[in-house]
Each structure stands twice: as structure tokens, then as C-alpha cells.
Amino acid sequence: MPIASINPATGETLKTFESLTKAQIEEKLQRAHDTFSVYRESSFTERTTMMLRAAEILDQDKSELARIMTLEMGKPIKGAIGEVEKCAWVCRYYAENAQQHLADMVIETDAARSYVKFQPLGPVLAVMPWNFPFWQVFRFAAPALMAGNVGLLKHASNVPQCALAIENLFSRAGFPQGSFQTLLIGSDAVESVLRDRRVAAATLTGSEPAGRSVAAIAGGEIKKTVLELGGSDPFLVMPSANLDQAVTTAVKARTINNGQSCIAAKRFIVSTVVYNDFERRFVEQMKALKVGDPLEESTEIGPLATGQILKDVDQQVQTSLAAGAIILTGGKRVDRPGNFYEPTVLTNIPKGSPAYSEEIFGPVALLFRVNDVDEAIELANATTFGLGASAWTSDEAERDRFINGLEAGCVFINSMVASDPRLPFGGIKNSGYGRELAEFGIREFVNIKTVSISK
């Protein structure tokens, strides 16, 4: 796939870029290596000043940065502005908390003094997806840079302008040249970068096949990885739930970012007691969503990010329908230029169909009816993924059963799953391993060095 910005709302090619040559990659790797040897010695005070400046620039330039995102990958502009604001938040969070998260940890032993010291690892390769083209990068970069590592970004090939804007932003914030570099390369060039002895570790946010590939290569080189992969999050609704709130949140949780979010609620598992009511209201609200130009403030659903995603989503829907699923609304592309797909709701989804077991990365909701909590938990866990889960109930016993029984990296009760710099984020099963954000995230790419000084 060439490295190109193509406006998914119109199909217009905005800009194309040449992939870096081998010599250019070599230059950037050496620069990362050389920069690390100096940058690792910088103080938390120095890093904090630069990270706070990055937050300020994000705030100042948010309209322009949001517009780049919307033009490259079709996110509604309101969401794009919110995304830039969230990046400023994560910069401030780590600027204010990194030193404390990485402070020496004294542990009493027989020695005169023993403690744990956290030290940076070196250049970390970040392979990132297009769906939250700023947020995904910042939630890696802010803790990595505050810990004293340096970053090498291999962004998705359809968001090169976002990738370059982020590199530029860190440079304007005062971070030394070489501490955060964008590599405009295709996925075929990832292997040689990852195998390079100067690269210490890697993080990948993206699909399961990409995660498997990067983790296998890194495993061969004995390099640490963090993987943030796909999800097919359940959204469980029990009879005691506040149905008004549950329905409105369900629609938002499924359609945020045009339905292209790893933690979007994808499977709605609803008690038979309230199922009919939920289905009717949910379908009504999905039908009422405003599909249109993502640059318009009032647009709720923009285009899918690429023509390939549009094809994949439609094929998953059509195959599921052929296998016996029933369509309640939507189910086809919108008749206009660009990669628009109708907000879609399916029910009666047969086991073995794509809608039952695969992640659908678009505005397609899957409704399931269950008899009780046991059945709800069993169905929620009947997936290879384990990223997030949202459960709706006002019954405390039910709530505790969901918290204990759901196989996921997080459980949100009576709200939708969302990332927050203060809370760890990540999955289990085929959704990946390792954690981003909070104290857990900044400790992923550090040497946890034990120090023992004898009496």
C-alpha cells in the first residue's frame, strides 16, 4: 500500500509520500541511538517542561490538527477536536506524574539498602493505527519520552500527514532532534527496523495479524513488546438497568469514530425481559444518526477510513445475512461518493457467521437476547478477544458477577468503556498484552533494576 493521504469522504488524493530509503532509515536509527545516549540523562524537570509545552501546542493548534485528522481518515471534526484535547491531557498527566511513577522504590531486606530503580530502555518502535491517529501515538509517546526513552513512529500508511504533524509538534515543544522521529515506511519495512540492534523494544496497536507478526519477530530478537489489538466488546443490559441511558450510550458506544474503535461496544447482549424495548429504541436511534461530511460540526457518522474497510465491513454483513442473520436497519453503503456505510443493526446472528465471532470495524451493531446473567456472561466471553466490557444493572450482586466473570482488560458498570490517562488500558486473550496509560503504562518500557547494597 503506498503512503498516501486520501480523503475518505471524497476519494480525493490529498498528498502522496515516498517511503524512506534504506539509507534514510539507517540515518534515523543512528540518530535515535545517539540521541538516547544524551536524552536518557535529562532530568524530570527538563522533560516536564517540554511535555507541558507539547500540551500547550496541542491546545493552541487543535483546530488545525483536528482538520488534518478528519481529512485523512474521516473522523467527525468534533471527535477530532476532542482527540487533540485528550492528547494534551495525557501529556500533562505524565508531565505531572512520571517522576513519582518512576521514583526509586525502597524494599526492606537483609541488605543495608535495597531498592528498585527504573531506567529507560532505549529507542522504542511504535507501530500505530489510523483510527485514533493522534491519541494512539500520544499515549505511547508521552510516557515513553517522560521515562527517558526515545520514539520511532511507524504510523499507518493512510495517515502520513498526522505522523509528520506529531513529529513536528514534539520538535517545536523542545524535545531534541532524534527523540521522536516518524519513519514513513510500509509495513514490509518493519521487520528490518525491529531486528536492528539499536531498537530496544516495540509497541503495536492494530490488528491481530499485525500483532502476531511483530511479536514473533521481536520474540526472535528477545525484545519486549506491548500489543494493543482488536476487540469485540460486549455491552450487557439487565432488567434493572436504566434503559434510557443504556440505549443512548449503546448507540454512542457503537458508532463513535464511525464505528472504528477497538473499544467500541460491538455485541449488545440484552436480557429477554427488556430486549424488545431495547431493540426498538436502539434501532430508532441508529436510524436517526446524521451521516455526512465529517468536517461539519453536526455530523455524527462520517466515512470509513479506506475503501478496503468499506468492502470488508459490507462483506462481513452480507455473509452474516446469508448465514441467517436478520437485518433491522442499514446493511449497505450510502449512495454518495466516499466510503460511507449506513448505521446497521443485525439480530438473530448464527454461530459461525462473521458477525458472531469477528470484529466488525464499522457502524454495525449486533443484538443478542439472553435469559439470565449466566447466559449473558457465557456469551460475552465466547470470543477470542478480551479488551473491554460494559455492563448495565442496578443490582449489586449482578454487578459483582460481571466484574468477576467477564474476560476483559476492563469492566465499566453503567457507562461505556473509555480510555483515561489515569487508568491502565489493555486487553487479554487475542486483544493483546501489556498495559498503556497510568503507572502501569510508563513501567512497560523501563529496566526494573534491582539494587542491593550490602551492610
Smallest distance from the beta carbon of 19 to ligand NAP, in angstroms?
9
Closest CA to 354 of 383, 318, 316, 381: 316
Nearer to ligand NAP, 208 or 293 (CB): 208
Determine if 187 is a binding residue for ligand NAP (CB under 6 A).
yes
Q: How many residues does the chain have?
A: 455
Smallest distance from the beta carbon of 265 to ligand NAP, in angstroms?
13
The single-letter DSSP state of residue 288 is T
Q: In what order do the strands lie in the sheet containing 180-182?
A: 180-182, 150-154, 123-127, 201-205, 224-228, 432-433
Determine if 359 is a binding residue for ligand NAP (CB under 6 A).
yes
Q: DSSP characters for 67-125?
A: HHHHHHH---HHHHHHHHHHHHHHHHHHHHHHHHHTS-EE---SSSEEEEEEEE-SEEE
Residues 399-428: x where in contact with ligand NAP by CB under 6 A, - otherwise, as a string: ----------------------------x-
Q: Which of 88, 183, 190, 376 binds ligand NAP (CB under 6 A)?
A: 190
Closest CA to 210 of 192, 236, 190, 224: 190
Determine if 205 is a binding residue for ligand NAP (CB under 6 A).
yes
Determine if 262 is a binding residue for ligand NAP (CB under 6 A).
yes
Determine if 127 is a binding residue for ligand NAP (CB under 6 A).
yes
Q: Which three cell numbers stand for residue 106?
A: 525502597
Is 96 known to be catalytic? Answer: no
Stretch that binds ligand NAP, among 43-51, 94-102, 151-159, 249-257 (CB under 6 A): 151-159
Instruction: List beta partners, residue 433.
Output: 227
Is 87 known to be catalytic? Answer: no
End-to-end CA distance of the chain: 61
Q: Which of 149, 213, 225, 339 binds ligand NAP (CB under 6 A)?
A: 213
Catalytic residue chosen out of the listed positions 72, 83, 228, 398:
228
Residues 215-254: x where in contact with ligand NAP by CB under 6 A, - otherwise, as a string: -------------xxxx-----------------------
Nearer to ligand NAP, 184 or 243 (CB): 184
Q: How far is CA 259 from CA 35, 143, 313, 401, 424, in A?
A: 39, 28, 11, 28, 23
Q: Which of 2, 11, 186, 350 binds ligand NAP (CB under 6 A)?
A: 186
Neighbours of 18 (CB within 10 A): 9
Dihedral sign, CA of 424, 430, 431, 434? positive
Q: Which three cell numbers stand for residue 335?
A: 449512495
Q: What does the alpha-carbon distance between residue 439 and residue 428 come to, in Å, rounded to a whole number?
A: 18
CB 159 within 8 A of CB 153: no
In 3-state terms, what secondary structure has residue 274?
Answer: coil
Determine if 361 is a binding residue for ligand NAP (CB under 6 A).
yes
Q: How many residues bind ligand NAP (CB under 6 A)?
A: 31
Determine if 445 is a binding residue for ligand NAP (CB under 6 A).
no
Give residues 289-328 in contact with ligand NAP (rule: CB under 6 A). Answer: none
Stretch that binds ligand NAP, among 66-74, 95-103, 140-148, 185-193 (CB under 6 A): 185-193
Nearer to ligand NAP, 11 or 186 (CB): 186
Instruction: List beta partners, residue 364.
Output: 344
Determine if 387 is a binding residue for ligand NAP (CB under 6 A).
yes
Q: Which residues are catalytic?
A: 228, 262
The residue ranges that bind ligand NAP (CB under 6 A) are: 1, 127-131, 136, 154-157, 186-187, 190, 205-207, 210, 213-214, 228-231, 262, 359, 361, 387, 427, 431-432
